């Protein structure tokens, strides 16, 4: 896989602190410990560019990365982690909502869902949140390497049926494994169709 040129631009608590960019931006969002940082590292073919941890809640700020001087990737804090204070959780929610609704160059959000489990309530609520605000999102199923190959399709079909309980159609989706690099080229192709945003 290609070795990507990546510059970490910093961690920010508010969207108005994020640096200006006319590059198309893609956010990565999901439940805590869904594998966001691991997926970003695999997509960029760069070990450790995004911090990974076995402890949920490691990402606590809006982390921005400039990729190939063509795109921006954003690693957002995970949601649904119960073992944090209500004050901290509210702070994260305000930070994430501010970024998703006000970041002018955000093309879409990659909503990561763990392929091993049926659709979780917090994921269902997050999709509804995007729908209510008419914000674009794409689903990425993660950790398929943790399943038996014959079970991947069955698990994802269960999640799809959960989504279709409230949606008329499925959003665009990618089936991935950061460990085995499954689905990464398809995401690269998706991102590559977007070019610098003209004023």
Choose between 181 and 47: higher pLDDT: 181
d(CA 188, CA 190): 5
Query: b vs e for 130-145, b when ≥16 Cβ sit within 10 Å of the residue's Cβ?
Result: beeeeeebbbbbbbbe
Residue 1: pLDDT band with limits 50, 70, 90: low
What is the model's pLDDT at position 20? Answer: 94
Residue 120: pLDDT band with limits 50, 70, 90: very high
Pick the CATH number of 6-192 from 1.10.15.40, 3.90.1150.10, 3.40.50.300, 3.40.630.30: 3.40.50.300
Q: Is the pLDDT of residue 24 over 60?
A: yes
pTM for the predicted model, two decimal places: 0.91
Tens-place pLDDT, residues 78-101: 887 655 667 777 777 888 999 999
Choose between 13 and 109: higher pLDDT: 109
Domains in the chain: boundaries: 6-192
Q: Which helix or strand (DSSP H or E) is residue 162 part of? A: helix 149-164
Could you give the angle at which helices 149-164 and 121-133 cross, rounded to 10 degrees? 50
Sheet hosting strand 71-75, strand order edge to edge: 6-12, 62-67, 71-75, 25-30, 106-114, 137-142, 173-175
Q: Is the pLDDT of residue 104 over 50?
A: yes
What is the model's pLDDT at position 153? Answer: 97
């Amino acid at each position: 896989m290609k070795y990507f040129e990546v510059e970490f631009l910093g961690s920010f608590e508010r969207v108005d602190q994020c640096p200006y960019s006319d590059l198309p931006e893609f956010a990565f969002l999901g439940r805590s410990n869904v594998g966001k940082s691991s997926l970003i590292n695999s997509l960029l073919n760069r070990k450790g560019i995004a911090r990974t941890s076995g402890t949920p809640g490691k990402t606590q700020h809006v982390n921005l990365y400039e990729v190939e001087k063509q795109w921006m990737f954003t690693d957002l804090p995970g949601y649904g982690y119960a073992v944090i204070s209500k004050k901290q959780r509210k702070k994260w929610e305000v930070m994430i909502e501010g970024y998703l609704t006000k970041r002018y160059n955000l093309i879409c959000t990659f909503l990561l869902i763990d392929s091993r489990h049926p659709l979780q309530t917090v994921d269902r609520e997050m999709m509804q949140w995007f729908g209510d605000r008419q914000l674009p999102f794409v689903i990425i199923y993660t950790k398929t390497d943790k399943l038996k190959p014959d079970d991947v399709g069955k698990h994802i079909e269960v999640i799809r049926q959960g989504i279709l309980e409230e949606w008329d159609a499925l959003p665009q989706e990618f089936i991935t494994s950061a460990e085995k690099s499954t689905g990464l080229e398809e995401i690269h192709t998706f991102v590559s169709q977007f070019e610098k945003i003209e004023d």
